[in-house]
Amino acid sequence: MNQISRAEAERVMSERGWLPLLPEAVRAEVLRRSILLRFAPGEAVFHLGDPAGGIYGLVTGTVSVSIAPAGSRPRLILLGVPGRWTGEACFLTRKPRRGELRAVVETTMLHLPLDAMLQMASRGPDMVNHVALILMMNVEFLFRVIHDLQKPQADRRIASVLQRTTWIGDVPIPLTQSEVGVMANASRKQVNAALKRFVDAGWVAKSYRSIIITDPGALSSFAEGDGSD
Q: Tell me whether residue 229 is in a domain.
A: no
Residues 124 and 185 in one domain: no
Residues 122 and 17 in one domain: yes
Residues 50 and 115 in one domain: yes
Whichever domain contains 164, its CATH number is 1.10.10.10
Distance CA 85, CA 96 (A): 17
CB atoms within 10 A of CB 150: 9
Distance CA 133, CA 197 (A): 39
Residues 166 and 140 in one domain: no
Q: Tell me whether residue 1 is in a domain.
A: no
Residues 39 and 66 in one domain: yes
Domain that residue 215 falls in: 152-223
Structural domains counted in the chain: 2
Q: Which residues are CB-neighbours of 107 under 8 A, at least 6 positions away? A: 38, 39, 41, 58, 60, 61, 62, 63
Distance CA 137, CA 212 (A): 26
Residues 138 and 163 in one domain: no
Residues 64 and 119 in one domain: yes
pLDDT score for 171: 65
Residues 102 and 176 in one domain: no
Last residue of a domain, one of 97, 116, 147: 147
Residues 117 and 172 in one domain: no
Residues 82 and 181 in one domain: no
Last residue of a domain, one of 97, 123, 147: 147
pLDDT score for 201: 95
Q: Tell me whether residue 163 is in a domain.
A: yes
Number of residues that make up the chain = 229
63-67: strand order across its sheet = 44-46, 99-103, 63-67, 75-79
One pLDDT digit (tens) per residue for the chain, 229 residues? 568 999 999 999 999 999 999 999 999 999 999 999 999 999 999 999 999 999 999 999 889 888 877 777 888 877 777 889 999 999 999 999 988 999 988 999 999 999 999 999 999 899 999 999 999 998 988 898 899 999 999 999 999 999 887 765 566 777 888 889 999 999 999 999 999 999 999 999 887 777 888 888 899 999 988 645 5
Residues 17 and 80 in one domain: yes
Last residue of a domain, one of 85, 119, 147: 147
Whichever domain contains 143, its CATH number is 2.60.120.10
Residues 107 and 184 in one domain: no
Q: Tell me whether residue 228 is in a domain.
A: no
Q: Tell me whether residue 131 is in a domain.
A: yes
Within the chain, strands assigned E span 35-39, 44-46, 55-60, 63-67, 75-79, 85-86, 99-103, 107-112, 204-207, 210-213
